[in-house]
Amino acid sequence: MITPAYARMMARYNQWQNTNLYDAADTLDENTRREETGVWFGSIFATFNHLIWADRYWMYRFTGSKKPAGGMAESRFVYDTWPDLRQARTELDHSILNWAETIDPAWLSGEISWFSGSKQAVITQPTAQAVTHFFNH
């Protein structure tokens, strides 16, 4: 079983790693960030967009915050510019840190359910497992 302290540690780690990834991507030119390379979401830029979309989706499931628009296919196109994408990541990481500070141990020991658009089914799993997946995505 994970604890709220684990979630807070992972939120800090998540922010640190995202900062490192975005700093590395800052060294690339725009064409390189957007180059279609054959990876799952196509490019670095599209993958970073997807990760923001996915993190927001998990936060929606965890907190009831605003549901991200679109589905998996649209997740590659959340932001059009690098500065907007980077700013969004910074803001989202701060939101995740704030959320982690509020986690109740009782919530972590329960279950979470949501409708999966990709599976067209209701998914239920232990909340602790979902939070662990969120930080490892």
Q: Kindly report the number of other CB atoms within 10 A of residue 127's CB atom.
A: 19
For 63, half-sphere exposure in the C-beta direction (CA atoms, 13 angstrom radius) is 18
Tell how strand 121-126 and strand 111-116 pair up.
antiparallel
**pTM listed for this prediction:** 0.93
What's the CA gap between 52 and 77, in Å, rounded?
A: 10
> So what's the pLDDT on residue 72?
83
Among 134, 137, 114, which Cα is nearest to 124's?
114
Higher local confidence (pLDDT), 3 or 118: 3
- Of all residues in the chain, the percent with pLDDT exceeding 70 is 100
**pLDDT surpasses 90 at 24:** yes
> So what's the pLDDT on residue 38?
86
**pLDDT surpasses 90 at 40:** no
